[in-house]
Amino acid sequence: MVDPLIALLTGTGLILILLIIFIPQKGLISRLRRNKRNEKRVLIEDALKHLYSCEYNGVSCSIDSIAGKLSIASDDAAKLLANLEQHDLVKSHDEDIVLTPDGRSYALRIIRVHRLWEQYLADETSVGEKDWHFSAEEIEHKLSPAQADALAAQIGNPVFDPHGDPIPTSKGDILSKRGITLNSLMPDAYAHIIHIEDEPNAIYSQLVAEGLHVGMHVRMIEATKERIRFLANGEEVVLAPLFAKNINVTTVKGEPKIEGKFKTLSSLSIGEKGKVIGISTKCRGQQRRRLMDLGVVPGTEIEVEMKSVGGDPIAYRIRGATVALRKKQAERIFLEN
Amino acid sequence: MKQTEQNNEEILSLANNLRWDLGQGFHDQLMESIFANATTIAQRSVTTSKEKPLFSFDRALDRIVTSPVFGFPVMFIILAMVFWITVQGANIPSEFLASILINDIHPALKSFAGSIGTPLWLSGLLIDGAYLSMAWVVSVMLPPMAIFFPLFTLLEDFGYLPRVAFNMDNLYRRAGAHGKQALTMAMGFGCNAAGVVATRVIDSPRERLIAIITNNFSLCNGRWPTQILIATIFIGGVVPAELAGIVSAAAVVGIAVLGIVFSLVVSFGLSKTMLKGEASTFSLELPPYRPPRILRTLYTSLIDRTIIVLWRAVVFAVPAGMVIWLVANVTFGEESIAQVFINWVDPAALIIGLNGVIILAYIIAIPANEIVIPTVLMLTVLVAGLTGVGSGSGVMFDAGSASATGTILAAGGWTLLTGINLMLFSLLHNPCSTTIYTIYKETKSVKWTLVSTFLPIVMGIVVCFFVTQIWRLFAGA
Amino acid sequence: MNTNKLELNNCASCPVHNVGNLKKLGINMSDYDYVVALAGNPNTGKSTVFNNLTGLKQHTGNWPGKTVTRAEGGFEFNDSKFKIVDLPGTYSLLSASTDEEVARDFILFGQPDVTVIVADATRLERNLNLVLQVLEITDRAVLCLNLMDEARRNKIEVDVRTLSKDLGIPVIPTEARQNIGMQELLNSINEVASGKYICKPYRMKGKSKELNSAVEKLSQKIKLEYPNIPNSNWVALRLLEGDQSIIDAVRTGELGNIKEVKRAITEDELQSEDAV
């Protein structure tokens, strides 16, 4: 019989080794998979995407900006560009680099997959907001146009991604840029966030951390060169203009509802009633649809009926039915004051 | 024709453009307007009495079952009663069925087969193998299920179970699961396959998968007899006789509770790793209480749950019975296949505190946990070369009493450690084939079926390994 | 082919269901005269109604959402044979879940002769959500207002006649668990199926301005191409939601197979009445 101490040590060691190899995300296997990324095709596709984004935003691109964007050396970027030109995907006049129609439709195909995937993650999964972009950066090089179409069909052929960007159709049509940047919003004007740029990530995570999201209403307080001050979430948010530039808004007439100014369903106690004014846009996908199917729509009166033994979930009377909701959900349902 | 196609495409592209104009709040607006219409219509035809009734049965009952003081005690009492009635009520019919199917019909079939000159191998394969395993499954499985499922269904019909889910959600939420998993787990104590089917009431994809994968940690009624027998022999055997009953019962309950703990821990782990990205929603409707219709419930729960589950178990048990007979009777040189296999896995099995017999029994008894103990006994007799006990090679049998079983197992080299490990392994091993098949039918995914099959068995091996080695380290045995 | 169509249009009691599509949906109609779809919110006693009508004994618990697979059965009434299909219980027909797709596609493409919507009388307002959605798709429906006993117990009164007038379809109060109201329900199903009762279903009003104009625009375009479909507004709505099965139906021209039968007759009848 083996000495138990030796057996224990070997067993523990074996388990640790297996964990190191197989654990999701941080394990050796998933690392290996990720390292395979830097292939030539990926670089080509990323470069096309970058060129397209310059074109869409009406700024000019250079070899340096490509190099910076793809984190490669300028020499490599120049070689890449030559390669693209050879394949008739881009043309360069003097300093200007422009996409050919072929190059544009290639770029749009990649962008379509990217945005579809983000919408899929946002709508059909519980993957966190900050992980959407990275996941999409990988998937966009993997799905064929046919797979992209199947994905689109599965999630109801969305026309916007969760950041508010239009998703190109399978034929390559895309909605032109909408709205104005938050910086150019007049003081005291009400607006509706229609787009939050998800790159660079440092800025995006900051905006997410502030609780800003597409569909939200804001009111400008002041916009100077140093800072942009506005009302969102019922409180003041201050952003540097560099950050605010990444938010696109459309102005709204009248005085719309601003989130956070209102009390939430979770603030009611037993026996109290409230009238729904809206569901936070953070509650999305299946969960949002389910709530609305149950009758949680603006105008619905909800009464708190009873608490469970632990105090969460709580049962509410919604349009004649008793429905239990967790605290986290109730926090996302806004009521009239 | 061409024209039509073009028009169709035009319709679609117009739709697409309009969608871009409408923006993202479209679905919300639509739902709002439907409900606005619904409100208008309802207001015209529905009148609700303004004054609240002085006493509402529903409210009063809800106040008790969700009360912080009485809520859980009421739940434990009701569930304990259901289990008690099941265990007590199933004993007599189980023994009755066993005495008819195994003690009377089996020998009768054998002598009939002998009288018409059936070759020995054929009567062995069909009667000792196929028939006997089927008889075993039916007599052990049918009575408890025929009692447990109707009782459970009555509680369901009455509307109490959603309240249990409501109360338990707090705990299950922390484990990343849905409160209704408490019910599918409870159902799993009757039968894991039925528990897996019951997960249909969980409408959130992630939580449903969690409930399916962890259902196997509920000790199903095919495994209770194993637990009770082994606890009586080995755990009851080391304490003074007057305490034996209580201690062995506590050990069995301890294993069941350990199963619940494992299911919560695994739920938590799954929700944080493999199932992190799966969609998750929560909503739980609490229907009004309704008087259950007892006769109807008895009828439908028998048809819907008991018979279907039993049928599946029988379908899987018949070939397993044949395999059991074959491995014990087909020889490979001097020894039967069973002996060759057992000798081969014995060293590895001893490291995790089990033995080759147990491993082989669990492999060939995948179709039904009910036949594990009879198979173990048959194989032990075969391997240890005992004479005077059992009914011949390949014929499963019941030793009659716990002490007789204990004697056979002791002769097979079993110790207290083997007993403990068998109890753990019986809790933590792959689901039976009926359950595996049901998981596949419910998830329609090979991946999740494989995960649900191999996760518990890997856990079982790991747990038994550590228990054994730590035991040896301290007990030196 | 054309004569066949004419015949259909001139026969008030002829079935309207779409045999080709029903076959595709896996329903065998060879021995039946009419097909009835059974829709409803979860936990409204839909399956009890189904069992009462067919004599089948399918278990359903006091749980939302128990019937997961589609059940079928048959019954005979006044010498007509009815096939009844129990659709999955859903709160709505607008979301992306499989259950809702099954129910939606069946009602739209199968064109059942009657769609019976089972509603819980104690939560009528929420149940109306589904009722209104069904009425957007089909012209032939019966509302089975179930659990009237529970409503009475909770002191909720429903004015059945007003409701029926508002919705434009027969409304039958029932207590399915006690088998009360089933004869009346059968009667209504038969009347609607045979064209004796002509529904004038409520169509939703008061959508927001943008929504209305978008639906209007798209629906115009659809009507131009498919003048015969009875529910162009609803098809437009589904296209605006990006429903793949409708997109496919438009792309393949399948949508043209969904024909309005009942309306044509009503108008004919009205005209003949005018002439008299």
The enclosing domain of C134 has a CATH number of: 3.40.50.300
Q: Is B79 inside any structural domain?
A: no
| Neighbouring subunits of B (3+ Cβ pairs under 8 A) | A, C
What pLDDT digit, counting tens, does each position of B102-145 carry? 888 988 998 898 888 888 888 888 888 889 888 888 888 888 88
CATH architecture of A180-252: Roll (2.30)
The distance of C227 to chain A (nearest Cα, Å) reads 26
Contact C189, C114 (CB under 8 A): yes
Closest CA to A81 of A56, A47, A104: A47
Chain C residue closest in CA terms to B304: C59
Closest CA to C118 of C104, C134, C98: C134
Contact C140, C114 (CB under 8 A): yes
Instruction: Name every residue whose Cβ is closer than 8 Å to that of residue B333 and which is 6 or more positions away in sequence.
Output: none
Structure confidence at residue C65 (pLDDT): 41
| H helix runs in A23-144, sequence order | 28-35, 40-57, 63-70, 74-86, 101-124, 129-139
Structure confidence at residue B21 (pLDDT): 79
Q: Is B338 inside any structural domain?
A: yes
Structure confidence at residue C12 (pLDDT): 60
The distance of B466 to chain A (nearest Cα, Å) reads 7
Q: Which residues in chain A show pLDDT less than 50? A: none
Q: Is the pLDDT of residue C8 over 60?
A: no
How many helical (H) and strand (E) elements, i.e. helices and strands, does chain B have?
22, 4
Instruction: Identify the weakest region by mean pLDDT among A102-106, C97-101, C121-125.
Output: C97-101
Q: What is the dihedral of CA B208, B213, B218, B224, to 10 degrees?
A: 140
Structure confidence at residue B54 (pLDDT): 60
Going by pLDDT thresholds of 50, 70 and 90, the confidence category of residue B382 is confident
Mean pLDDT, to the nearest integer, of C30-52?
86
Q: For residues C248 and C242, give the distance between their C-alpha atoms in angstroms, rounded to a whole number.
A: 11
The distance of C276 to chain B (nearest Cα, Å) reads 36
Q: Do domains A40-99 and A180-252 have the same CATH topology?
A: no
The distance of C126 to chain A (nearest Cα, Å) reads 6
Q: For residues A210 and A233, give the distance between their C-alpha atoms in angstroms, rounded to a whole number.
A: 9
Which residues constitute the domain of residue C222? 209-260
The reply to whether residue A295 touches residue C96, judged by beta carbons under 8 angstroms, is: no
Q: Is B260 inside any structural domain?
A: no
Tell me the pLDDT of chain B averaged across its residues: 87
Structure confidence at residue C196 (pLDDT): 86
| Neighbouring subunits of A (3+ Cβ pairs under 8 A) | B, C
Q: What are phi and psi of C256, to 5 degrees?
A: -65, -20
Tell me how many domains chain B contains.
1
Closest CA to A110 of A69, A142, A152: A142
| Three-state secondary structure call for residue A97 | strand
The reply to whether residue C58 touches residue B22, judged by beta carbons under 8 angstroms, is: no
Q: Is B163 inside any structural domain?
A: no
Residues of chain A found within 8 Å of residue C204, distances taken between Cβ atoms: none
Computed from CA positions of residues C11, C12, C15, C20, in that sequence, does the dihedral angle turn out positive or negative? positive
Q: What are phi and psi of B401, to 5 degrees?
A: -135, 165
Structure confidence at residue B424 (pLDDT): 95
B28, B170, B286 ranked by CB distance to A312: nearest: B170
| C86 CB burial (10 A radius; 0-12, 13-18, 19+) | buried
Are C187 and C215 part of one and the same domain? no
Are C75 and C179 part of one and the same domain? yes
Residues of chain C found within 8 Å of residue B305, distances taken between Cβ atoms: 59
Chain B residue closest in CA terms to C241: B27
A40 C-beta neighbours (distance < 10 Å), count: 9
Residues of chain A found within 8 Å of residue B27, distances taken between Cβ atoms: 289, 292
Q: What are phi and psi of B271, to 5 degrees?
A: -70, -20
What pLDDT digit, counting tens, does each position of B340-370 carry? 899 999 998 988 999 999 999 999 888 778 8
Beta bridge partners of A276: A335
Q: Is B162 inside any structural domain?
A: no
Mean pLDDT, to the nearest integer, of C251-261?
75
Size of interface A-B (CB pairs under 8 A): 141
B348 C-beta neighbours (distance < 10 Å), count: 12
Q: For residues C89 and B203, give the distance between their C-alpha atoms in angstroms, rounded to a whole number.
A: 12
**Higher pLDDT among residues B98 and C27, named by residue:** B98
Structure confidence at residue A251 (pLDDT): 78
Instruction: Name every residue whose Cβ is closer than 8 Å to that of residue B50 and which is 6 or more positions away in sequence.
Output: none
Q: Is the pLDDT of residue B307 over 50?
A: yes
Contact B353, B468 (CB under 8 A): yes
The reply to whether residue C96 touches residue A286, judged by beta carbons under 8 angstroms, is: yes
The distance of B3 to chain A (nearest Cα, Å) reads 19
Are C65 and C22 part of one and the same domain? yes
Which residues 193-232 of chain C have a CB within 8 Å of chain A?
A: none
**Higher pLDDT among residues A188 and C66, named by residue:** A188
Q: Is B141 inside any structural domain?
A: no
Report ipTM for this prediction.
Answer: 0.85
Are C52 and C125 part of one and the same domain? yes
User: Which amino acid would we find at residue A143?
Assistant: L
Going by pLDDT thresholds of 50, 70 and 90, the confidence category of residue C257 is confident
Helix (H) or strand (E) run with residue A302 in it: strand A301-307
Which residues constitute the domain of residue B335? 318-475
Contact B11, C221 (CB under 8 A): yes
Structure confidence at residue A315 (pLDDT): 95
Question: Hey, what long-range contacts does B105-112 have (CB within 8 A, 24 or more apart)?
Answer: B105/B135, B106/B131, B106/B132, B106/B135
Tell me how many domains chain C contains.
2
Size of interface B-C (CB pairs under 8 A): 165
Structure confidence at residue B215 (pLDDT): 95
Q: Label residue C67 left, alpha or beta by phi (over 0 means left) and psi (-120 to 50 means alpha).
A: beta
Q: Is the pLDDT of residue B258 over 90?
A: yes
Are C93 and C123 part of one and the same domain? yes
The class of domain A40-99 in CATH terms is mainly alpha
Structure confidence at residue A304 (pLDDT): 95
Please give the DSSP secondary-structure letter assigned to residue A185.
Answer: P
Structure confidence at residue B11 (pLDDT): 87
Task: List chain A domain ranges.
Answer: 4-32, 40-99, 180-252, 263-335
Domain boundary at C164, C193, C222, which? C193
Computed from CA positions of residues A280, A284, A286, A289, in that sequence, does the dihedral angle turn out positive or negative? positive
Going by pLDDT thresholds of 50, 70 and 90, the confidence category of residue C2 is very low
Residue with tokens 């619904």: B38
Q: For residues C178 and B430, give the distance between their C-alpha atoms in angstroms, rounded to a whole number.
A: 45
Contact C240, A157 (CB under 8 A): no
Q: For residues C230 and C258, give the distance between their C-alpha atoms in angstroms, rounded to a whole number.
A: 8
Chain A residue closest in CA terms to B22: A159
Correct CATH for A263-335 of 2.30.30.90, 3.20.20.70, 3.30.1330.60, 3.90.1530.10: 2.30.30.90
What pLDDT digit, counting tens, does each position of B8-54 carry? 888 888 888 888 877 777 888 888 889 999 999 999 998 887 666 66
**A64-68, A200-204, B149-153, C187-191 — which one is most confidently predicted on average?**
C187-191
Contact C54, C73 (CB under 8 A): yes
Are C188 and C52 part of one and the same domain? yes
Are C26 and C145 part of one and the same domain? yes
Strands C114-120 and C34-40: parallel
Q: Is the pLDDT of residue C262 over 50?
A: no
Are C26 and C97 part of one and the same domain? yes
